[in-house]
Structure 1
Amino acid sequence: MLNYKKVETTETMATLSDLIQVIWSEVFTPVLGATQVDYMLDTYQSIDQIKSEISGGVQYELILRDNEPVGYLAYAIEESQLFISNLYFLASSRGQGLSRQVFERFEKIAKSHGKSQLHLHVNRDNTRALTIYQLYGFEIVQVGDTPFGEYFLNDYWMTKKL
């Protein structure tokens, strides 16, 4: 069973930062290359950016199993949906069905806020994540190529109706 710890202290922020460095290198270096991953770590997943997102209403949480961090998530309650901006596990915790527990939690949170769908963006070349999202009932609703510095975020936008 998973537990969740809100990222709001210096200690939880440091743990989150350590997780991000490991996970993003594992997940995205083969997909995006080291240069783009470094850029995204310095911008999109920097501590300053995360603090800014939190102050804007995004909820970051550490995902814990046996009180040890195995991943992290971030979401925002938007007008008509719960937007999942991050969901990542350490390599040692992938493929164990843990994401199912997290998606059940996302659904519960969305429903408690009167939202009728979950929404996320996934890199089109992240086939592992794409397969998992489709397994959990997400459908591709849009193809997005969003400028991000000197790069583009080549994503599928996916939605699951609740």
Structure 2
Amino acid sequence: MSLVVRQVIADDAQGVADVLNPIIFEGLYTVLDTTFSVDEEKEFIAQFPEHGVFTVAVNTENSEVIGFQNVEPFASYTKAFDHVGIIGTFVGGASQGQGVSKKLFESTFEVAKQKGYEKLFAYVRSDNERALTAYLKQGFEVVGTAKKHAKVGGVYVDEVLIEKFL
């Protein structure tokens, strides 16, 4: 598979929804519990923070979005966290295990540094071993576990807190 990684555009909304919604629907790998319409994704892309990073991986053979990663500012109520971003990574099921997340990380790290981020932070479901392994391979370190941090489908889920200095 040949892929290109680039910054998101509004026309990617369908592809982003096509990657994200099956993951949400499955209910096993994210704490997100409500799927998104294409219009909601378009609005999310349009309103995405200027200081944020939103990267998509596109299969060049069919122009299909197969994964995405975004970094949003950690907090807007103080400038003390301007150097910290919250990162999320999503790769479609058929594209997992093919190096997509590695390419996303490479691009996202570079753009994040250009935008002034010095540290990326993430919450990963404790039962999502594949995601945790992917982040650790990219140099993230575990800094703690938030017990019963989310409640998905009536079930408590612990989240592992990880960080990486860029």
Q: TM-score, normalised by structure 1?
A: 0.73
Superposed displacement of residue 7, structure 1: 4.1
Structure 1 position 55 matched with structure 2 position 51: no
Residue number in structure 1 paired with 2:79: none
Equivalent residue for 1:146?
149
1:159 equivalent in structure 2? 163
Any residues of structure 2 matched to 1:19-34 within 5 Å, and which?
Answer: 19-25=19-25, 28-29=27-28
Specify which of 54, 59, 64 is matched with residue 58 of structure 2.
64
Percent of counterpart pairs with the same letter?
21
Residues 74-93 of structure 1 deviation map (CA, whole Å, 9 limit, x = unaligned): 22144122321x31111221
Query: Which 4+ stretches in 1 moved above 6 angstroms?
Result: none
Aligned residues: 150
Q: Please, which moves more after superposition, 104-113 or 119-128?
A: 104-113
In structure 2, do the counterparts of structure 1 residues 13 and 155 end up closer, same or farther at CA, with 3 Å as the change threshold?
A: same
Structure 2 spans left out of the alignment, 5+ residues? 75-81
* Greater share of helix: 1
**Which range moves more in the overlay, 105-114 or 122-131?**
105-114
Distance 1:14 1:76, change over 3 A: same
- Once residues 142 and 49 of structure 1 are traced to their aligned partners in structure 2, the CA distance between those partners, rounded to angstroms, is 31
Tell me the equivalent position of 1:102: 104
Where do 1:62-101 residues align within 5 Å?
62-66=56-60, 67-78=63-74, 79-84=82-87, 86-101=88-103
Q: Is the 8 A contact 1:5 1:64 kept in 2?
A: no
